[in-house]
Structure 1
Amino acid sequence: MTKTLFPDGLVGVIFDCDGVMIDSRDANREYYNRILAYLGMPAMTSEQECYAFMATARQALCRILPPHLHACLEQTANAAVNYARDIVPLLRLQPGFLEFIERLHAGGLRMAIATNRVDRGLQTVLDFFALPPYFDPVVTASNAAPKPSPEGTRMICKAWGVAPCRTLFVGDSEHDKTAALGADVVFAAFNGDGLQGHITVLNFVELAQALAGAL
């Protein structure tokens, strides 16, 4: 499979953060539901929850909160919940992620992150899990158009000086898939609940097996 997908070889891997590097679904649900409870509103619907998991925090809050609060989203969220104290401890590193990136690093492959978190939110994750400094560049909603725009994916390929066809994007959502395919990058659908990609896997053990010829 890898020779077919990467006839010129695999040079770098781009990771989405939430749902790929970390398991944050419970944490995200708790974060937004605390804000809604603070405002006396009902918990998110399943549709709102799915959207919030893919979107930027601002996009999610605009979706679930009434328009008169859109001018003060950050202030409202900060008043409702202490993210570092109440939410970050709920985050979990995806099983096998550390072993996988160590294998990539040992093989000389480059790594980057493309997330819809803002700079501060992603740095909180990197610091909390004390992840190694393998990821460069790190593209967030603070420095590129959020996914599904392919802008961030293109930025990474340009920074690496690598053809998109020699790059893999690992994501778990349609936003990730669109961001990858829009930049002509090979897409690996990771634990995506029916999401399909050039490679479709449930976990990092399966991903390592799928890429065995390229690692």
Structure 2
Amino acid sequence: MSNAFDLLVFDWDGTLMDSTGTIALSIQRAFVDVGLPEPTDTQARFVIGYGLTEAMAYLAPGADAPTIARVVEAYRHYYLAQDQSLVLYEGVREWLPRLREAGYPLAVATGKSRVGLDRVLAHTGLGELFEVTRTADEAFSKPHPAMLEYILDYMDVAPERALMVGDTTHDLQLAINAGTRSAAMTYGAHPLADMLPLSPLAHFDDFPALARWLLEA
């Protein structure tokens, strides 16, 4: 029996790794350090999934490029002090290999940088599970379709045969822009109410529920 999809593409932060709280707090501290108004938690969580420079520029639309660069560096200082202590969501380590063993090719499309993604893949030991990964500094930031289109082309998979799995409206809009289907994870950065208008195929409150759905499809 064939699988429901020929490719599963995962966001990283807020989908596979429990990092959204740390990211949001690091953004807030960075803005305070640079002397800019501190974003609310909701505002900081909204930009998770964007490339780092794009995220900071969105939150400080009147700031010039040197100021944004200072915010980015301050953010990195706070985030890197904690990233080795971040953990995968419950079930991710157990179920990702099962999905691959069931014949699902796996990929990652993330707002992280290449250096950041490679570091966390090495730290978690999950790198060998993914056929291809794409980061925000290798393509336009989400929700531009470029990073997902690259993955589809690399894997030679038609858009309608791929599923984008993410926890933000940016992930779901990325899927729409690239012509793929999507699944929403409700435990990450954006509330389900914001994601439902983007018509995900399904939504899940934990990773094992997603995996079981895929294996039973």
Q: Work out whether the TM-score is over 0.5.
A: yes
Q: Deviations over 1:96-141 (max 9, x none)?
A: 1111211112112211111112211212221232224121221111
Paired residue secondary structure (1:20): coil
Larger Rg: 1
Q: Quick check: 1:199 aligned with 2:202?
A: yes
- Offset at 1:69? 4.5
Q: CA separation in 1, counterparts of 2:75 and 2:109?
A: 28
- Once the two structures are superposed, the pairs formed by residues 1-215 of structure 1 within 5 Å of their partners are 9-65=4-60, 67-71=62-66, 73-78=68-73, 82-83=77-78, 85-191=80-186, 193-194=191-192, 195-196=195-196, 197-214=200-217
- Runs (4 or more) in structure 1 with deviation over 6 Å come to none
TM-score (norm: length of structure 2): 0.84
- Offset at 1:147? 1.0
Matched AA of 1:59: E
Q: How many residues align?
A: 209
Judged with a 3 Å threshold, the aligned counterparts in structure 2 of structure 1 residues 182 and 52 are, in CA distance, closer, same or farther, namely closer
Judged with a 3 Å threshold, the aligned counterparts in structure 2 of structure 1 residues 170 and 85 are, in CA distance, closer, same or farther, namely closer
- Offset at 1:150? 1.6
Q: Which range is displaced more, 57-66 or 93-102? A: 57-66
Judged with a 3 Å threshold, the aligned counterparts in structure 2 of structure 1 residues 61 and 107 are, in CA distance, closer, same or farther, namely same
Verify the 8 A CA contact 1:170 1:187 in the aligned structure 2.
yes
Q: CA separation in 2, counterparts of 1:66 and 1:167?
A: 35
Any gaps of 5 or more consecutive residues in structure 1?
Answer: none
Paired residue secondary structure (1:23): coil
- Offset at 1:28? 0.7
- Offset at 1:85? 4.5
Matched AA of 2:53: R
- Offset at 1:68? 4.9
Judged with a 3 Å threshold, the aligned counterparts in structure 2 of structure 1 residues 63 and 36 are, in CA distance, closer, same or farther, namely same
Paired residue secondary structure (1:133): helix
What's the Cα RMSD here?
2.5
Matched AA of 1:206: A
